[in-house]
Every structure is written in C-alpha cells, then in structure tokens.
Structure 1
Amino acid sequence: MVPSSPQESIKRVLAAEYVRMSTEHQKYSLDNQSEYIKEYSLRNNITIIHTYNDAGKSGLNISGRPGLKALLDDVINKKITISAILVYDVSRFGRFQDADEAGHYSHLLRKNGVKIIYCAEPFSEEHPEMFMLGLSFSRHGAASYSRNLSEKVFLGQVNLIKKGYHQGGIAGYGLRRLLIDEHHVPKGILEFGQRKSIQTDRIILSPGPLEEINIVNKIFDMFNLEGKPEIVIATELNRTNVFAENGNKWTRGKIHQILTNEKYIGNSIYNKTSFKLKQRHVNNPEDEWVRFNGAYEPIISIDKFDLAQEIIASRMVIFTDDELLEKLSILLIKRGRLSGIIIDEEELLPSSSTYRSRFGSLLRVYSLIGYNPRQDYTYLETNKVLKGVHSSVIETIIENIYKSNGWVSDSPTEGILNINDEFTLSVNLARCQRLSGNSLRWKIRFNHLSVPDISIAIRMDSLNKSPIDYYIFPSIDEVYNHLSLKEKNTFGLELYNFNTLNPFYHLVRRTTFIEKIKR
C-alpha cells in the first residue's frame, strides 16, 4: 500500500503524468512509476488525461528526451489543458547538473499555470518554505547521484583497462574483438555490431586476418621508408582496391589514425578525451591518461611505431597567421589558383581545415592574400564526401533493419526506400554552412515530388565530415519542403531530434509470432 501523502488537500484537477527511465534500476521502470502515480492520483482527486514518457533516456539534460520536450511544448503552446504534472520523484524529472536548469523548466510550467507534483517526495507546496528547501535538496541529490554514478563507472572502466580489457569502440583495421570468459578462455570473435551478453565475459583485442596485418605493416613501411604522406598512402591503397574497415575507402585520417594509435603495438590507452555527464568534450592532458602497456598482442614492431612518431613530430610546426598566409601566397603563385583540394594536396602546407579553423573560412583567407576565386572547388570536394557519407548511412540503416527482422526493397521513386512493404523512407544529408557571423545553419530540402512516409534528415558537423544528430519527420506532421535548422531550434523542431537512429530501428523491428506468445 502506498503511504498517505501530505498533498491530500488538492482538489480534483486535470493532470499529465511524466515518467522517465534510464537503465539504472528496476524500481524506476515506467510501469512501476506509472502505477505509483496512478494510486497517488486516485487518493488526491487528480484525473490523469495525458501521459508523456522517455524510455531509456538520461536525465542529465533535455537533449534526446522527446517526451519532456513534447510536454513543455504542449503546455507552453496551450495544446493541452492541465493544471498539474505528476512525476514519481525529483530525479525522474531530471538529474540536471545545474539546478538552475531544472528551475528554469519548472518556472516555464508554473508561468503557464501548471505545477509539478513529485508524488514520492515527502514535501508539498502547502508549506512553501519546506517545499523549496526539500526541492533544493532533492535536486542536489539527483545531480550528485549522477556525478557519483559517473565516477563509479569511470573507476570501473579504469580498473578493467588496467587488467588489459578493451573498453568500447571498434577494434580498428587489422585487429579484432575477442570475447573471453571469466577464466580468460576464448569464446570467439565478435563481429561488427555484436555485443557481449554475459556480465562476467570480457573483451580483448587480438590480431585480425593476416592480409590486414600485412597492410598495416605496409602502411608503416610506406610512411617510414618511402617517405609517403598519409594522403598518398590512402590514394595508392584505394587505387589497388585495398579497402579499409567494412569495405570503406581509405582516407588521410584513417591512415594517420593507424600511424598514431598505440593499440597496434599492444598498448591500451583510456581517458584521452572525456565527455562526463554529457557536458562537453575535453582533451585530457597525457598525465591523466590511463595506460596499460602490453595489454594485447602487437601486430607491428615498436621500432616501426616509434620511427613513425618521430617523423610526425618533426613536421608538427605551429605557424603564425602571417606565415600561413605567406605559404598560401607562394602556393597561389605556383599553381595559379587555389581550392580546398589544391591546399590539401600540397605536402608542405597545413590542411585546408587548418586555414578554416584559424581564419573562419577559405574565402576569408583568399581575401587576405588578394585572391578572388571564380569558383571554390572545396564545394565539389565536400559534395564527394557527403555522397560517401550518405551511401554509408544508407548501408547502415539497411543492415540494422535486417538485424531487426525487417526488410528493404526499392521504390519506383529514386531515393526512396520501401520498408517492410509497409511504409516508405527517404534519407537526406544537411550540409553545415557557416554564416558571416560564424553561426551555423543546416538547410534541409525534402523530396516534394513523392512524399515518403518518414523522412530522416542528418545534420553534418561543421567540417561536413561526420553526422552529429538526426531529425526523424513523419509525413503526417506535414513538415515543410525546406527547413533551415540552427544550432538551437524551437521546441517544435527539437521534438523530432535524436542523437541516434535507435528510435527508428525500434519502430521497424518485427516481432515473431513465437516472441509475441512468450510475452
């Protein structure tokens, strides 16, 4: 029996319930929260007319929580008529690391005539002073829980690293993830996308196929002995039809990653970067790295690796702005014109991304040296990159649909996929554009000739190299043919925003008849 609450004096009101579950404990399952809230509402003459939920969502911030975003949007824009929101406890509303953020959302609701009732908390608004004091302590406790949990998880991962186990991420070209049991007995190689299912099992890195090991050694020899830079090595491998991971093309970045990653000499390094509590990415100083030398069987010699590091270190020179501009002027005289491709092809010159980072854009750099290009061929280069990313994303989506027991067939309309013979899908890449004020914009152009049932828009990073997040639009919501997204958008648009495509994969997943019976 749920204990009596101090908020029994509340008259019958119309309310919405909000439930959230991450993955931390069964007591916070959505069903358990909802059942508790239901009993509370019956005891306190409250009628629940709307339910909002976020399943498997972190409470550290509002990003990726469509349930809470929808609730706030519906209240602020008067889409629903309620006077209270029922939440199990303060932590379910969010473990915001900044208590002011939780207060901000509470203020928005209160400003629109809606109060939050924390059903399992021992304080109520009947005693305002105690309510604010209790709420402050609970918010601090919820935030502290996440900080403590983050620290415990980090220490656990450090402990596993120091024992030589691999922590997350793909193995890398030339290596494989080997699953072992608690007695270090090998159980088999994990393929791409596979995860361990037994808690006591562990993963270590092991040498991959011999042909890949030979390619890794060839890369080091081409760099160390033949003096070939990364871009040339990548070009030669692609020209001879030697593919990188998962059949992808080699790039300068992939080659550089192999040349600088110590896992190829058997060392495991952790905590080079941090993203604790989803605040911001941080490059940690080397004395904070967690290192385990000799964790895995190496596939190249230490001498080869050390020589490559010496060569890389010798060319790492930090140029002043004037030096960068002078070198670019010399290149202009030499080549007669400039573009992102021409800059990247020049061995003794920093990459075009360095110029963009230092000066804001290539066009600004050109203006500083008095060059007025008729056409900046960087756009063509970016198109080539985007085309490759688009193909890769499509392949990944199709692969995951089949893993979810679904299937994909071609649609008569170009660019449209037919999913499970039930609905159609289009996937669009949104190129990142940097405006004159240095702010970012993403323009999305949908297929208006044949409207698919679902449109996925993928926002690219500022260099247009990698996806940063996804917008999933159902056709029933009648989104515009053209959208312009900012770095921060309205609640209405953010309802469609997700960090991954997992919600889409959940939607297309097929359940077998036997699975349905077992439930």
Structure 2
Amino acid sequence: MSTDHQRFSLENQAASIASYAEAEGFEIVKSYVDAGRSGLSAAGRLGLAQLLADVIGGQADFQTILVLDVSRWGRYQDTDEAAHYEYLCRSRGVAVVYCAEAFGDGFAGSIVKHLKRVMAAEYSRELSAKVRAAKRLNAEMGHTSGGPAPYGFCRKTFNPDGTEDRLLRPGERKSRITQSVRYAPAGEAETAVIRTIFRLFVSKGKRQADIAQLLNRKGSFWTDGSPWTKERVGRVLRCELVTGTQAFGKSTHHLATPVQHHPRGAWATTQVMKPLLSQRLFSAAQGRLRELDGLYTQTEEEMVEGLRRIARREGKVTCSLIDAEPGLHGSRAYISRFGSVGRAYRLAGLPLSAVKRGRHEDGSKLSRAEVLDGIRRLYETHGRVDVALYMADRSLPSLRHIDAEFGNLSAAFRQAKVPHTWGRRPHYKDLTGERCEGENILSGPKGGRYFLSMKGIKRYDV
C-alpha cells in the first residue's frame, strides 16, 4: 500500500490471497509486506528487496509467490522493470502467481499481462496529473498544503464559505476535510523581529551569523524558544510570505523521478495577506543574498589562497577567522569542498599547529606520553616550566585537553617530574582591583605573578 490511509488494504489483500491459497491447495509459509510504500519504484520497498534476496540467494523455502494483482507487484513506469523482477524469480524456479487475475502460460497470456502492467502504470500517471492539478488550484487560492508555518506566521483554518475557524497550534490539523488552511501573521512581536532582520541585513550590511548573535543577546529567540542560527536567519530572508505573497511551484517531483528545483524566477505566486515589509526591501535582500551565494563560484585555489592570506595577516588560521573573512567562504564550505578543514590547510601549506595546537600533521591528538615528553622538552630548553611558557608552545595541547587527560596543568607537571613554581595564595588582587580567592598562581617572566583561569592567563599583584 502507498499511504497510511489505506490501513485496511493489507488485511484485505492477505484475506484474498489466503482464500485463493486455500482453494488452490497452497500453504502460506511466509509473507512479505511493503506498508506505506509506493509501487512506482523499487526504492524503499524493503519487503520486495528481501523477497528477491531470498529467492536469488537460494534461501527461499517456497516454490510460488502469490500476489493479489499486477498493481501490487508494482506500478512501475517502465513495464520492463516489473517483468525483470518476475523473470529473476522464475529463473530460480519460483513462480509468480496473480490471485485476482488469471493469465495463461502461452503467448496470449503474456500479452494480457503486459497490457495490465501498462494499465497499472497509466493509472499512476493519470492520478498524478489529477493530484498536481488539485494542489496547484489550492495554492492559487492561497491554501497551504501542510508543514510548519515559517517564523512570524501561523496557520489558520477556514470553512468552505470563507469564514475563519480557529488557530492551529504546532502539530495540529484541521478538524474537517472540507476546511482549508492558510497562513497569517503570528503577531506584532514576530513581525518586528522580521523587520529588524531585513534592516540589519540590507541597510547595515550585517552578516546572517552576526544578526543571529544580536537577536540572541536581545533575548529574541526562535519560535520554539531555541537560539537563532545563521540558517534560520537565512530562512527568514528568503521567505516570500513577508511580502504578502505565497510562492509555489518551487520544485517538481513526478512519479518517483528525482526532485527538480526551479529558479526563483520560475516560481508562481499569489497574494494571501497584507505585506509585512516593502517589495523593494525584500528585493534588495535577495540581491545581497545572490551576491553572497556568488562566493560559491570561487575555485579551490582561490579558497586555499584565502587561508594563506589569513595566516600571513594573523599568524594563525581558525574557523572563526575564516567565517569573519570578507569575500571568503565560511568554514562549512571548506568542509564540504575539501572533505575537512585540515585537508584545506595542508593544500595551503599550513601546518595544523597554525590552526589547532597540540595536533599531529594528520590532525590526530597527542598521546599522554607525547604530552609529558613535550613538557620535559620545554623544561630542558628554558630551565623551568610555567603556564606562560606552556601556552607559548603551540606544539602542546590546550588547557582543556590537559584538564581532560591529567586533571590540571599542575598534575601534568608532576607526572612529567619537572620542577615548577606553583603556589597557593589565599588572596590576591589583579591590576584592575578584582579580588580572587583560593586559586593557583605561579611565577612567570620578569618576576611577575600569573593567574590561570578559564579566560586565559592574567598577571596579578599578590
């Protein structure tokens, strides 16, 4: 069966097949079921796949396959596909019998069976054309076909006479099949956020990631209360509903063929509500989005050269620096293009130590023994070890890694068996007057005293 609405289809088929088996003297030993799967393609039909695997692999403990009719074997648009699967079974000595349709073994029976397959495929084509026409008519009338509402909008049900019924909460459906569902603005607060996003993106030239951070700091969150992200801001900027129009015909997916996406200029639109902002502002946002999307026309060499440019200017390369670099892809684009950011670094001739400290050239982490050897090497070079010297050596891993492996840096120094100056003080005061208690302090260059915290290393007067 192809949909959950045909919930009794499987039971009816099983009952008809059982009656046929009893009348013809068959014993049913196993059943293969594809519930909620379309017969247009073999893709996703796990029951059919298991059946063919058992037959071809010689594991079938039966001699005959009983199918209700040709359409249940499949409504393949290429009728040769249905014949191919049936031939695979016959070639292994397993016959395929259609319970509701009597086909002879001769030439005439083959012709009738082929005609039945053509009719099954034609039924799907006709039904698909009717469904497409109905969906397009609903879209032209401003109805929505389903799915959650975009940010700033809600779903409302309307009666056949056009009167408004009620507001639908997330996950709710209309109560009667004769009703229709349309989008409407969710409220002034969400509308203000949408206008802020467009103003910051177009007038202020803010990046989508920066806009998300600004909204999160202000306490304006997504519909479900989760933080804004770059992708969510992009969805708002591309939403046609903000102009009061509803777009449809964005893609086509006919008869199990691959989805074909159409350019924005080929979309159809219909007016469904009053606009939340001007068409001019929306068009300006789409123009800037196209400019940003144009970055993806950069070649791999241009992307690699961008990494070298960051390294020359900053002395290092990080994902945050890549994302902040104007005119350059984001770090995610490097992952999708090169497979990993580390591979892009190697192509740029940059050691991974320039990006993430305490790593091998292949990006793997240092072992505990390698970390302890690095601390001993640091002591042999400088005659002492402390936090400042440790942090200055980028061949050693981060403090977060040290905390995870050793507990803290002092424990790592002790396990490396190197002398270090690391004391405890009940009170000390930093240069700005902030007081701290019960923390580790240590001697540093030029007799200074340093405090190690999660925010880094700070110098303190004790």
Extract unaligned runs of 5+ from structure 1: 1-19, 378-519
Match of 2:346 among 356, 367, 383: 367
Q: One-letter code of the match for 1:345?
A: A
Structure with the greater relative contact order (CA < 8 A, sep ≥ 6): 1 or 2?
A: 1
Match of 2:150 among 172, 177, 181: 172
The aligned residue for residue 352 of structure 1 is 331
Q: One-letter code of the match for 2:274?
A: E
Q: Does 1:244 align with 2:222?
A: yes
Q: Is the Cα contact below 8 Å between 2:77 and 2:121 reproduced in 1?
A: yes
1:23-34 pair list within 5 angstroms: 29-34=9-14
Q: One-letter code of the match for 2:282?
A: F
Q: Does 1:343 align with 2:322?
A: yes
Q: One-letter code of the match for 1:148?
A: E
The CA deviation at 1:315 is 4.0
Q: Is the Cα contact below 8 Å between 2:315 and 2:354 reproduced in 1?
A: no
The aligned residue for residue 108 of structure 2 is 130
The aligned residue for residue 29 of structure 2 is 49
Q: Is the Cα contact below 8 Å between 1:172 and 1:245 reproduced in 2?
A: no
- Give deviations 1:399-447, integer Å, cap 9, x for gaps: xxxxxxxxxxxxxxxxxxxxxxxxxxxxxxxxxxxxxxxxxxxxxxxxx
Q: Does 1:221 align with 2:211?
A: no
The aligned residue for residue 410 of structure 2 is none
- Give deviations 1:320-375, integer Å, cap 9, x for gaps: 44433332321232333335444233342122343444445434433332223249
Q: Does 1:334 align with 2:313?
A: yes
Q: Is the Cα contact below 8 Å between 1:177 and 1:189 reproduced in 2?
A: yes
- Give deviations 1:159-190, integer Å, cap 9, x for gaps: 11111112222211110011111111111111
- Give deviations 1:296-338, integer Å, cap 9, x for gaps: 2332333332332233334443334443333232123233333
Question: Relative to 1, partners in 2 of residues 1:313 and 1:71: Cα closer, same or farther, differing over 3 Å?
Answer: closer
Q: Percent identity?
A: 34
Structure 2: distance between partners of 1:101 and 1:364: 43
Question: Relative to 1, partners in 2 of residues 1:148 and 1:335: Cα closer, same or farther, differing over 3 Å?
Answer: farther
Structure 2: distance between partners of 1:29 and 1:275: 25
More helix by share: 2
Residue aligned with 1:121, SS = coil
Q: Does 1:65 align with 2:45?
A: yes
Structure 1: distance between partners of 2:16 and 2:82: 23
Extract unaligned runs of 5+ from structure 2: 357-462
Q: One-letter code of the match for 1:343?
A: I
1:438-457 pair list within 5 angstroms: none
The aligned residue for residue 3 of structure 2 is 22
Residue aligned with 1:56, SS = coil
The aligned residue for residue 371 of structure 2 is none
Single out whichever of 199-208 and 316-325 deviates more from structure 2.
Answer: 316-325
Q: One-letter code of the match for 1:371?
A: L
Structure 1: distance between partners of 2:5 and 2:118: 18
Single out whichever of 60-69 and 275-284 deviates more from structure 2.
Answer: 60-69
Structure 2: distance between partners of 1:135 and 1:335: 73
Question: Relative to 1, partners in 2 of residues 1:222 and 1:287: Cα closer, same or farther, differing over 3 Å?
Answer: closer
Q: Is the Cα contact below 8 Å between 2:157 and 2:174 reproduced in 1?
A: yes
Q: Is the Cα contact below 8 Å between 1:171 and 1:177 reproduced in 2?
A: yes
Report the RMSD for the aligned CA atoms in angstroms: 2.7
Q: Is the Cα contact below 8 Å between 1:90 and 1:118 reproduced in 2?
A: yes
- Give deviations 1:59-105, integer Å, cap 9, x for gaps: 12234434333433444455541111111111112223333443443
The aligned residue for residue 369 of structure 2 is none
Q: Is the Cα contact below 8 Å between 1:41 and 1:48 reproduced in 2?
A: yes
Structure 2: distance between partners of 1:323 and 1:237: 33
Match of 1:324 among 303, 306, 329: 303
Single out whichever of 335-344 and 37-46 deviates more from structure 2.
Answer: 335-344
Match of 2:278 among 277, 301, 307: 301
Structure 1: distance between partners of 2:146 and 2:15: 36
More strand by share: 1
The CA deviation at 1:155 is 1.3
Match of 1:231 among 209, 218, 223: 209
Question: Relative to 1, partners in 2 of residues 1:302 and 1:21: Cα closer, same or farther, differing over 3 Å?
Answer: closer
Match of 1:274 among 233, 252, 255: 252
1:66-215 pair list within 5 angstroms: 66-124=46-104, 126-127=105-106, 129-215=107-193
1:410-421 pair list within 5 angstroms: none
Question: Relative to 1, partners in 2 of residues 1:137 and 1:254: Cα closer, same or farther, differing over 3 Å?
Answer: same
Q: Is the Cα contact below 8 Å between 2:317 and 2:354 reproduced in 1?
A: no
Residue aligned with 1:277, SS = coil
- Report the TM-score when normalising by structure 1: 0.62
Question: Relative to 1, partners in 2 of residues 1:98 and 1:365: Cα closer, same or farther, differing over 3 Å?
Answer: farther
Question: Relative to 1, partners in 2 of residues 1:97 and 1:80: Cα closer, same or farther, differing over 3 Å?
Answer: same
Q: One-letter code of the match for 1:243?
A: F
Structure 2: distance between partners of 1:342 and 1:130: 73
- Report the TM-score when normalising by structure 2: 0.69
Residue aligned with 2:269, SS = strand
The aligned residue for residue 13 of structure 1 is none
Residue aligned with 1:91, SS = helix
Q: One-letter code of the match for 2:210?
A: V
Residue aligned with 1:268, SS = strand
